[in-house]
Amino acid sequence: MDPIRYYDIRYVRGTSTTITVENGDVESAGSNFFGKALIRVLGEKGWGYYCASPFDPDDQTAKQEYIARAARSAKRADVPEEIADVPYGTPRNWACSASEQAAVPIEEKAGLLLKMEAGARLPEICSTSARYSEQYQDVWFEDCNGYAANSSVCRTLFTISAVAARSGNMQMNYEQEAVVGPLNLSAYLGYGEMCAKRAVDLLDASAVSGGRMPAVLDPAIGGVFAHEAVGHASEGDAVRDGVSVLAGKLGTQVGSPLVTIIDDPSIHGYGYEPFDAEGVACGPTELIKNGIMHAYMHSRETLAAVGMETGDAGHARAEPGMQPLVRMSNTYIKEGDASYDEIISECKSGVLLIGSRGGQVDPGRGAFQFNAKYGYRIENGETTTMIRDVSLSGDILSVLHNIALCGSERKMSSGMCGKGQAVPVSDGAPHVYLTEAMVGGSGNA
């Protein structure tokens, strides 16, 4: 038998159902049934993984065979690895199984989605579509120490989009809500009209001419800023590997004293995990506290590698059948005490960026970029004309110092984060005022 220092098994089984409607018709409605187990073995020097699909949790013979296979793989590894001994914690359980939602016939959900989409068909709208998805996922975790945990979580989301056209000019907008637990579409029927109105408004918006200028971020794009600029660089694997500009910064001032950024898998957001992919339940980790680098997010492996006092385990996440990676869950900038009017007035001349179309970071270089759905120019301390296709980029270590005001109201937004594997996350912020940012746009100065 090959040497085994530790093993665990994470079996994920579930169903996801998606309904897509386009221009008033149900385009498709499909289901995916999945069931995969990852068997993970820590050998003398490193990990071996085996992904089994299908997997029968009651078949003890097959289980032993998979463990032996993963142990054989681990024998090939040659990097000394340790895993930190941490308490498993107590999962904070929200009502997420949503059995009442599962009982609602799919025809009824499709009908509501069509109704929401119909609300988007306003004058000048040439195309509408909407998507509804619900995923029921059951997780069983067990390790070689006899520890076992299981969870049942439902995630539900809808997206609605509209394309507006006028004299050869086309613009699009989309709105999305995503939650853990049930989501009753009938409460969101007004999203169709809201989405379409914004798409029509964008026909009159202009592209901004890029350059360095002050910027105000709304809660959605402020959340992406927290996620891209700080979250990824605070992941324990990037810190361990020396490819984060925040590595080695614990206890040092990395930003304005107004900045506190937290990641918390236990809150009732889209990134909620009762326990992580290593079976560990954790609460909030304050990454930056009053501008000082305070803690990193860790797996048991990166906590052992970087140091027990450098942060919290409980941040390992994985797609079904894939290896745990250090990931964010629900990440946010803590509220300050400025009012929205105060922030816009203080900015004087710059841009207000609203909504997120995604972002990306190179944590090693410390460079990030994200794109807003739209925004407004700020002139003489007031918002004026609408702008579109505007993005923002910066250096993590300088931009954090440029935060001069944080608003008093925070809002979270949901989405997916990719790092080789896609996991559900949420992020949020209050309105945030940056004294200087590099703003990108294709407009001519």
Nearer to another protein, 4 or 29 (CB): 29
- Strands 296-297 and 311-312 turn out to be parallel
Residue 116, Cα to own-chain centre: how many angstroms?
25
**Residue 264 or residue 276: which is nearer to another protein going by CB?**
276
Q: Rule CB under 8 A: choose which of 2, 138, 362, 436 binds another protein.
A: 362
Could you give the CA distance from residue 180 to residue 12 in angstroms, rounded to a whole number? 17
- Distance of alpha carbon 361 from alpha carbon 370, whole angstroms: 9
Pick the closer one to another protein by CB: 323 or 435. 323
Candidates 95, 187, 207, 416; binder of another protein (CB under 8 A) is: 207
Main-chain phi, psi angles of 11, to 5 degrees: -105, 125
Among 11, 275, 296, 368, binds another protein (CB under 8 A): 368
Contact 29, 105 (CB under 8 A): no
Residue 81 beta carbon to another protein: minimum distance, rounded to whole angstroms? 7
The residues in 411-440 that bind another protein, with binding defined as CB under 8 A, are 438-440
The residue within the footprint of another protein, chosen from 4, 5, 22, 435 (CB under 8 A), is 22
- Determine the Cα–Cα distance for residues 237 and 225; give it in Å rounded to an integer: 20
| 366 interacts with another protein by CB under 8 A | yes
The full length of the chain comes to 445
Binding footprint of another protein, residue count (CB under 8 A): 82
Determine the Cα–Cα distance for residues 285 and 254; give it in Å rounded to an integer: 17
How many other CB atoms are found less than 10 A from the CB of residue 303? 29
Contact 33, 54 (CB under 8 A): no
Among 118, 172, 189, 194, binds another protein (CB under 8 A): 172
Residue 16 binds to another protein (criterion: CB under 8 A): yes
Q: Which residues of 60-84 are buried (b: 16+ CB within 10 A; e: fewer)?
A: eeebeebbbbbbebbeebeeebebb
Residue 278 engages another protein in binding (rule: CB under 8 A): no
Report in angstroms how near the CB of residue 69 gets to another protein at its nearest: 6
Phi first, then psi, for residue 410 (nearest 5°) are: -110, 145
Q: Which amino acid is at 380?
A: N
Q: Are 370 and 439 in contact (CB under 8 A)?
A: no
Q: Which is nearer to another protein, 114 or 189 (CB)?
A: 114
Instruction: Give the binding range for another protein (CB under 8 A) out of 123-131, 190-198, 270-278, 326-334.
Output: 123-131
Residues within window 210-239 making contact with another protein, judged by CB under 8 A = 210-211
With CB under 8 A as the contact rule, the residue among 189, 243, 292, 404 that binds another protein is 243
Q: How far is the CB of 176 from another protein (least distance, A)?
A: 15
- Choose the stretch contacting another protein; rule: CB under 8 A; options: 28-36, 87-95, 187-195, 273-281: 28-36
The stretch among 86-94, 284-292, 384-392, 423-431 that binds another protein (CB under 8 A) is 384-392
Whole-number minimum distance, CB 168 to another protein, in Å?
A: 9
Q: In angstroms, rounded to a whole number, what is the distance separating the alpha carbons of residues 194 and 192? A: 6
Rounded Cα–Cα distance for residues 62 and 313 (Å): 30
Q: Cis omega (within 30 of 0) on the bond before 54?
A: yes
Minimum distance of another protein from residue 26's CB (angstroms): 5
Q: Write down the residue that tokens 């100065």 correspond to.
A: 445
Residue window 71-100: x/- pattern of binding to another protein, with contact defined by CB under 8 A: --xx-xxxx-x-------------------
Q: Break the chain down into helix, strand, coil percent, rounded to 5.
A: 20, 45, 35
Does the protein bind another protein through residue 364 (CB under 8 A)? Answer: yes
Q: What residues form DSSP beta bridges with 136?
A: 15, 154
The residue (of 46 and 284) whose beta carbon lies closer to another protein is 46
Distances from the Cα of 39 to the Cα of 5, 147, 331, angstroms:
14, 15, 29
Using the contact rule CB under 8 A, the part of the chain among 2-10, 41-49, 251-259, 286-294 near another protein is: 41-49
Which of 18/93 has CB closer to another protein? 18
Quick one: DSSP state of residue 189? T
Smallest distance from the beta carbon of 442 to another protein, in angstroms?
4
Q: Is 156 in the site for another protein (CB under 8 A)?
A: no
CA atoms of 287 and 330, how far apart (whole Å): 12
Least separation in angstroms between CB 324 and another protein: 11
Side chain identity, residue 167: S
Residue 349, amino acid: S
2 binds another protein (CB under 8 A): no
Nearest to 357 by CA among 233, 209, 178, 221: 221
| Per CB under 8 A, 23 contacts another protein | yes
Q: Which of residues 332-351 bind another protein (CB under 8 A)?
A: none
Site for another protein in 45-74 (CB under 8 A): 46-51, 53-54, 69-70, 73-74
Q: Which of 123, 146, 242, 251 binds another protein (CB under 8 A)?
A: 242
